[in-house]
Structure formats: C-alpha cells, structure tokens
Chain A
Amino acid sequence: MSSDVAQVPPASNAPKVTRKVALFGRANAGKTSLLMHLTGSLQRPVNFPGTSVESVQSNCVSGDCSLEIVDLPGVASLTPQSRDEQVAIDHLQDAATRPDLICFVLDAGKLAVELRLLQQLRGLDVPIVVAVTKVDVAAVEGFPIDADQLQRALGLPLLVVDGANGAGVDALRTELATTSLEAIKPAASPAACVTPKRAVSRSLTDKLDGFLLHPIFGPLVLVAVVLVMFQLVFTVAEPFMGWIEHAQGFLSGGIESVIAEGAMRSFLVDGVVNGVGSSLIFVPQIALLIAFVTCVEATGYMARAVFLLDRLLRRFGLSGKSFIPLASSFACAIPGIAASRILGDERDRLATITVAPLMSCSARLPVYVVLLAAFFPAYQAGLMLFVLYAVGIVTAILVSLILRRTVLKGGVSMLAMELPVYQRPRLRLIGRHTWFSVKSFLVTAGTVIFASTIIVWVLAYFPRPATISASYDSQRAAVEQAAPADLQDQLAALDARQSAAYLEQSYLASMGRFVQPVFEPAGFDWRMTVGVLAAFPARELVIPTLGTLYSLGEVEASADDPDPRLKDALRNAKGPDGKPTMNGLIALAAMVFFALCSQCAATLAAIRRETHSWRWPIFTFSYMTVLAWLAAVAIYQIGTMFGFGS
C-alpha cells in the first residue's frame, strides 16, 4: 500500500473508513457462525463450548465502511482463567489491538449470566453493539426474551440475529458500520428483562437428556455412537472407494495404451497414478469421519459425552473435556491438539496433547484398511479395526496415568461447563466444514505426498543396469525360439521376474536393507521397512510407498490378474527364498506399529506451537516411536512362539 496517507482512494466505491470490530462473548454464544454470516468466510461453527480457540480475522464492506472483524475466543468473565480467555481479554485491552467497537454476542438462552458479563464489559469504555443469538432456544427452554424491552434497558444498539440461517445479519453489519463511536451511556436495570419463572416444565432437551444421560441407557448410547462411527467408515465408504479404484485403473490402462514401455510409462503409472491414487482412495472415509464428528458436535451431544465420561477420564489423569480433543484426533491430531485449549488446567492440557496423537487418525486408516483387507476375512476386519483403535486408546490411558504420577503431578482440574440445548445439525454447515477438511487433505496429497511419491519412485526405479536387461532379453529370446504352448504366460512371468530383479538392486532396496535389521525382530521385510521409513514425515506416505514398491515388483503376479491391487500384491509378495514376506501376524505387528508410532511432522509442529517448547514434541515423538517398535516386536515374537506366523 502507499505510504501517502493523504492519498485519495483510487476507486470511487472503495471504503473510506475502516473499523476494527471484536466479536466478544461467552463460549458457545454463536460468535463463529455469526462471523461466517457477516463476512461469508468459512469458520468452524460447532455447538461445543470453546471451539473458536484462535482469534480469526475476517473483513467485509458495508456502504463506505470496511469492517475488520476478529472472532475472539469465548470468555466467561473479564478475569481470565485460561490461555484462551487471556488471548481475548488482552486483545481488548492492548493498545495495538484495541478495537473501535465491540460486538457483544449475547446468548439469549442464559440472559442473566450474559448481562453480568456485559456489565463488566462496559467498564472497558469501548462502544458496544449487542447481537442477540439463540432467541429460539430461549423460547423453547421456557425463558423467552423481549428484545425491545432489553434494548431500552441496556441503552445500547441491539439486534436479534440467527446464527443458523443468517437472518438479521445484514442489519447487524449496517449497524456495526454506522453506529456512533461515542462513549456509551450508563445502563438502566436490564436485570428486569430476565424472565423470572420458567414458562415450560419440560423442554425437548430435558426429555432427551432424561434418556441420553440415563445412568444405564446413557453409556449404552455413547458406545453405540462410537461403534456407528467406525462401522460407517467401513461400510458406507466402500462403494465410493470402488469408484475411485476403477477410475485409477482406467487411467493406468489409458496411459499404458498410449505410452510405450519405459521409464516414462513407469513414472506415470507406478509413480503418479498409483501413488496419488492410493491416497485419494481414502477421501470418502476421511470425509465421512469428519462429517460424523462435526455432526455429533453440532447436535450438542458431544458435551453430553463429556459429561458421561468425565469421571472415567479423570481416573486416567485426563478430564471429561479431553474427550473433545481426543475424539477430534480420530479425524486428525492437529485440530485435536488445538482443541485441547478448552482444558483450563495446564497439566490436564499437556497430558491430553501428549496422548492425542495416539488416537488413530484418518491417515492411519488407509494402512489398516489395506492390511486388514489383505490378511483378514471381512467378518473379522471390523472387529480388528476396533481392536486397533482400542490399542491406541489403552496406550493413551497408560501414558497419561504415568505422566500424571510423574512429571505432570498435581494441578487444579475443572469441569464447570455448559451442556447446550440439542439442535438439529445444519447439513449445509457440516457439508462445508467437511469439504474444507477434505480440501486440506487434497492439498497435502497434491503437494507433499505427490513429491514424496516421486522421490520414492525414483529411488525404486533406478539404477537400471544393462546386465539385467541383457540377461532377461536373452532368456526371452530363448523362450520365443522354443515357442511352447504357454508362451504368453512364460513371457509374463519373465517380465515380472525382471522388474523384481530391478527392484531388488534399486537404491531404495539398498536403503531398506541397511535399516531392515532394526525391524527384523518385528518380522518386517525390507519393503515394509521402507514404508515405515518413508512415513516418518507424514504417515499418508505409507500406502503410496507400498503401492509403488509392490506394483514395481509384481513378484510372480498371476497372468489372469495382470493388474493386482495393492492388497493382492501384499498377499502374494514372496522373498528370495520363495516364502511369502507378509502374513497375518506381520500385518498385525505392522498395523500396531503404525497405530502407535509418531509419524507426522505436522502434529509435532502443532505440539510445539501449543506448548511453546520443544520439550513436548521431542518427548511425544520419542515415547511413541519406542512404544511402537516394542509393541510390534512383542506381537511378532510372541505370535511366532505360539505358531501364528507360519
């Protein structure tokens, strides 16, 4: 921008003034969805207290005024009790960030509490516009509010808005842009506006809570919800995954028919299509999982889960509120670690952050799905998947217990949280949020995973010594000269043996063999070892890497199935001694390894950001990797002892 302050804006319709507006209110008042309607940008509007954990700025224009709106974390009082609240209150008081105008988001469902906070806020001497949300909730709960009366009593500009459909938001935007920035007048007595007696005896939420918080049915429903989540991921995603697989096969076939055999064709088919395709195929599952978690949050049930689990989780050195970060971590640990800010107590928070990466995230799912499909019958796969998730959860409990008895002893843990009124989830918002998450996965798949896939392909394809091609060319000539009845089969077998021979002496194989002794006790062959190594920057790389390795070395691929999928390739892979290199036991050891291992640089970066030190990411990486190795070795060794490995 120009440094000349007196310069006239070039365009005639450009805004003349800029106003800094802070959206301020208690957690779960509806600030985030209000911001979305005000500015049209996508936030994460969810029905759980404390989700807007970072202050996000978004701009919009109204008339000739440009509004810079900041969504502040939820605050219960002006005396901060958590990092979140400190962020919000500092923002209001710091001279550099102090807003021109506060938009106080008032949840009509708890008017008395809101008015107390608003009264404190007036002391800051910043102009205030009140946006009243959840008027419908207040009416349903039997405490209807009279907005006109409230406005007169408060003596502040006041508008009723609907966070769900955006009604009243245009008027609010205009008010924010045009309202006077002069000092605010003292209030009359707004307390008179609070409905003293409840108008209904039992609301829908009361009835639902009667069942969902029931001492027996409540926990049963909770278990059912979790089971439905896992089942959904496996069954509903299946047809979509089939389509992607077909598209991938179609594309490979197309390339093979156009481009002649050689480095270019191998690069496109084995490197690009197989590599990227094998991560794209999990988009349906990731989308379903994220949509489900978002939906549960949006209904208000997530807070009930916290309520039901608090006592249990406290025994494990966590808090009921840890359930939110931990449940989010099943989709991805990074938002989970950010969500841990809702935990007021620092020790609760550190314990939660440290164990959150043990929850099996959606990036681990591909590994489970492929290995389960390859080595376990379909009726066992669902149960085994549950076991793998349980391995992560049980380990998390043990680690948390140890931490709370050693380095994270003591602390004042608090629950004191609101259980919101049940709401019908807004499909549009869930859809938009899911799309947002899928898009960020696609960006990762399109950049990091794609680049790494190509590196893996290069390392696996080269070198190509002439001795191998000469040797196989002469063998091929000999076979053709003999012209046996199964000529085509024999030629195909020779081709497969040739590509296997190339792979066996590739750079990648040398690297894998160098490190393989470390994973030998877990039963991994060099290919699985390479998969493990390639996955340390991001575990999304496991399947593309294995895909490249096994499709390049289609060891004795059967002639009737010239394009074996990865699971078949895994099952059929044989070592130099002719014995299969993979079996159910090794697959289990590998899956448990991936379940426990810290293979995500982005997660470690998130831990660094949230804990403000390198200590916790280094600790998390070390303990997870050591545990993963020990568990994989234990499973393979004990399993072999009992004869499962043969």
Chain B
Amino acid sequence: MDPKVSVTTSDSPASPQYGKRDTSEAFLERGDARRECHLDAVESVSGIGVQFEVTGIDGSDAVGQRLAASGLWDGAVVEHIASAPFGDPMLFRVHGYRLALRRSEAARVRVVEVR
C-alpha cells in the first residue's frame, strides 16, 4: 500500500465532523489499520473537494464490475464534487472525468482519505 497515506488507528475517538452518521457505520475495521470508509459516506467525513483513494470494491457482481471498469480500481483517486438534490446520486471526479454514482453504488466502494 502507499506509504504516503497517513495512518490513523481505528480506535481513535470520533470527532464532531463525522456528523450525524454513526462512526461504526461510516468506518470499517481493516487489517491495515487505516481509517477506511465507503464512498457514500465521504461528505460526512470531510467536505467537497477532498481526495480519496480507492482500496477496494465490495462484491464482484455486475455493479462491482461496472464500478471497476469505470476506473474505481485499487489506488484510483476519487474526489466528491457534487450531489443531486436530496444527496442522491453523487458526482465524483475520477481519472479526470466526472462519474455519477447512486448512493447505493458508491456504498460498494471502499476508500481512505488522501492527506
């Protein structure tokens, strides 16, 4: 994995910027001890325009394959740039183009914040 990404332990206390979302739901416990969340939770983690790095996709069904073919493979850098009214779907920039994903699709993508 990329050593430049800052490492935060998963047991650090929840900070207020996580908003209303339950921390245990927003973050996953991973073996590499980096703080990982799903792409649909990025706005509760940080604001618009923060870059995230893809660490994996849940499931290898049609949706999972489509997400990978759209450029969301491991190591790809994703930036949340907008949301439709009521927060769904969401718009991301990946590899220089704009990709619209439903919340349910974004929830399949695991990311860590790029610091």
Contacts and interface: CB of A to CB of B under 8 A. Distances in A.
A310 B88 contact: yes
A77 B68 CA distance: 9
B99 A416 contact: yes
Contact of A213 (B61, B66, B84): B84
A509 B76 CA distance: 72
A416 B67 contact: yes
A344 interface: yes
Contacts of B30: none
A420 B97 CA distance: 8
Contacts of B97: 109-110, 113, 141, 418
A525 interface: no
A111 B88 contact: no
Interface string B73-115: 1001000011111101101001111111110010000000000
Contact of B66 (A76, A194, A210): A76
Contacts of B83: 215
Interface in B51-81: 61-63, 65-71, 73, 76, 81
B66 A81 contact: yes
A81 B64 CA distance: 11
A79 B81 contact: no
Contacts of A415: 89, 100-102, 105
Contacts of A216: 85
A344 B73 CA distance: 21
A324 to B, nearest CB: 13
Chain B contact residues, majority secondary structure: mixed
Contact of B84 (A113, A311, A412): A311
Interface in A51-89: 76-77, 79, 81
Interface residues of B, number: 31
A419 B98 contact: yes
Contacts of A417: 99-100
Contacts of A308: 84-85
Interface residues of A, number: 45
A307 interface: yes
Given A109-B96, A113-B70, A311-B88, A416 B65 contact: no
A138 interface: yes
B106 to A, nearest CB: 10
A21 B23 CA distance: 54
Given A111-B96, A113-B70, A418-B97, A310 B85 contact: no
Given A77-B65, A81-B62, A213-B84, A113 B71 contact: yes
B62 A215 contact: no
Nearest to A26: B69
A79 B65 contact: yes
Interface in A411-445: 412, 414-421
A419 B100 contact: yes
A320 B96 contact: no
B19 to A, nearest CB: 17
A307 B96 contact: no
Contacts of B94: 113
B81 A206 contact: yes
Nearest to A194: B95
**Most chain B Cβ neighbours within 10 Å, of A216, A218, A416, A419:** A416
B96 to A, nearest CB: 4
A240 B105 CA distance: 48
A138 B89 CA distance: 25
Contacts of A113: 69-71, 94-95, 97
A113 B94 CA distance: 9
A100 to B, nearest CB: 26
A37 to B, nearest CB: 23
Interface string A134-172: 000010011100000000000000000000000000000
B89 to A, nearest CB: 5
Contact of B105 (A205, A209, A414): A414
A418 B98 contact: yes
A246 interface: no
A421 B50 CA distance: 21
Given A81-B62, A113-B97, A418-B98, A218 B105 contact: no
17 contacts: A76-B66, A79-B69, A112-B76, A112-B95, A113-B69, A213-B91, A215-B83, A215-B84, A307-B89, A311-B86, A414-B102, A415-B105, A416-B66, A416-B105, A417-B100, A418-B99, A418-B100
Interface of A: 76-77, 79, 81, 109-113, 116-117, 138, 141-143, 194-195, 198, 205-206, 209-210, 213, 215-216, 218-219, 303, 306-308, 310-311, 314, 320, 344, 412, 414-421
Closest 5 CB pairs of A and B: A77-B69, A110-B97, A112-B95, A143-B96, A419-B98
Given A113-B69, A415-B100, A416-B63, 9 more contacts: A110-B71, A112-B76, A117-B69, A303-B100, A308-B84, A310-B88, A310-B89, A310-B102, A314-B102
